Structure 1
Amino acid sequence: MRANNQIQACHQCGGIDVHSHVVPENFPAYVGSRLPPEWPSMAVAESCHRHVMISGKVYRTVSDKCWDVTKRLEDLPGMGLGLQLISPMPELLSYWMGSADAQQMLRFLNEQIAAMVAESGGSLIGLGAVPLQDLDLAIRELEYAVRTLGLHGVEIGSNINGMPIGAPALDPFFAACEALDAAVFVHALRPAGMDRLVGPAALQQVLAYPGDVGLAAASAITGNLLLRRPNLRIAFSHGGGTLASLLPRLQEGWAVFPGLRECIAASPAEQARRFFYDTLVFDTPTLRHLVDMFGASQLMVGTDYPFNFHDRTPVERIAAAGFDADTAAALIHRNAQRYLGLERTAP
């Protein structure tokens, strides 16, 4: 079900955005005997917006671009994009629900994403979501999303109810991703450190998200994830968050402390250059630093579209960074093709 015209679209029209989100127009009615308090619902807001309600409170106000494929596609050329990878708004990953309830919600979301992909005529591709609080259910839903719905992989949170993604307990899930050739995109979710911030709730996105993504990526290094799963394609949002600042300390600690050398089976810096990262850092010097740190082959366009806090000129920002033509092309579309396995479906 992975259409070959996706390759043609990204070459003809521009870059590939690997970080954008979907919220459905409405959430499904709960099927069960006891409605979970975290089950989301929609409330009408002004104009074309709606309030996402969780536990009786407004979690976020979103526009119809979250579900309206036509409006989404109208915005892509202005951002220099020809292909966009869509995934659920992270708060919908539902790890805190009972696993059966979460599976019910995520099946609905996965089918909504597949329907948007089908409607787009090859301009959208999708990542699903799985109930990682139950590995057996998660693997079954992953198989359904990839094999039946034709999605290209899965979005996961930076932690699973506090469990780091590098934890050995999650290895069966990553083994399934590897076996299915499914890409994994790690997004910040319910980050640590909120109690240390002073200011409004928006600081969660601005300051706490990068910290949690950095810790998630570091856990994948210290947990030797890609040494166990060498064919796993895993990407980290927000430029890997704080990882670029943590990595020199981790590398030096690996050289100094015998305990770190024993538990981390290969150089942290070398492991980090096997992950993928998006370019969503809002700063060209930082982008150049990430290319120096992680390699020009590992960065891909990310926007966080259609939320208000998104990069509206991602391709222009790469052009402004002064990269040579080959590096710019890698960042704009070639790396994403490799990450998503698109080059293997070319006509």
Structure 2
Amino acid sequence: MRRTTRSGGRSGGRIRALAATAALVAAGVTAAASPALAEDEVHGDALAGHWAPFDRCPVDDPAMLAADGVESAALCLASSSESGTMTIGEKVVPTAGTDLQLGLLGDGVNYTSVAPEGAGIQAEPVTVPGGLLNLMCPSEIPVLTALCEKAADSRLNRVVATVEPAGTPTDFSLTAGLGVGQPIVTLPVKIRLDNLLLGGNCYIGSDSDPILLQPRNLSQPALTLTRYAPDGTAEPTGAMSNVALAGADQGDDTFAVPEADGCGLFGALDWAVNAQLGLPSPEGANSLVLDAADTTTGGFYTPAAFAPDQGRLLAEHWHAAHQ
């Protein structure tokens, strides 16, 4: 009874606005910049109707299930971008399709993220233009000259770059997500370089020393609100709602890039990658741009109305929406 009474007060007022305000966080989450996804991208089972963006939402996480809708509400977040670029020094690598999904727990102002089982951030690997010849050649160093000559064989030259998560996103800012030019979230990532000569364990950055991206909107996103029934079908007064932010480019030019590690047999080529890429690369020498990011935040339109079981009911509806 006490929680029901509070849902009509100041705390409940914050939660009633939570479905709309939480979407502001989402405007920058896509800028995880092509993190790790295998070539055969794997998603969860398809969800019906307006549930479709959230096929990996961690609704069964104990923290999500425990959300009461008043003190904290559970939401689903999905963010994607089809293209972009990452620049390290003078080297430019394109980014491909990305898919970030997270659970969000918050009170309408402050949020923490809950990652789904496995990686919350997934993306398609990208073939580096010019391959090893672009990353390490030409060179006047004899050892590298020999590698450059070998890399003339296209099979040895191909380098695939995959940006992977290196920790949990932090520092969500709702107000920054609505506007332009302010950091929205901190995203720790690392870059894996796959090549026959570099091996499969060549990384720039690590879990202990990640690249810390702080994306911000480079243009104003367009916001739309959709109401729907718990089964995912459109309904103007439905209990569920999605808030979508679309079309805004996102970027960051403030991050540093640490040294490479694990390149070549026993790391024998770490120094070569570092020398040719100028690693470590200081803040201001690198940049990220994600084109036309689309982000959707979904959950109950008025979470407090479903207290004290909002998180559990969100999970029930999510499971029922599986096709």
Q: TM-score by structure 2 length? A: 0.26
Richer in helix (by share): 1
Higher alpha-carbon Rg: 2
The structure, 1 or 2, with the larger RCO (C-alpha pairs under 8 Å, 6+ apart) is: 2
Richer in strand (by share): 2
Q: TM-score by structure 1 length? A: 0.25
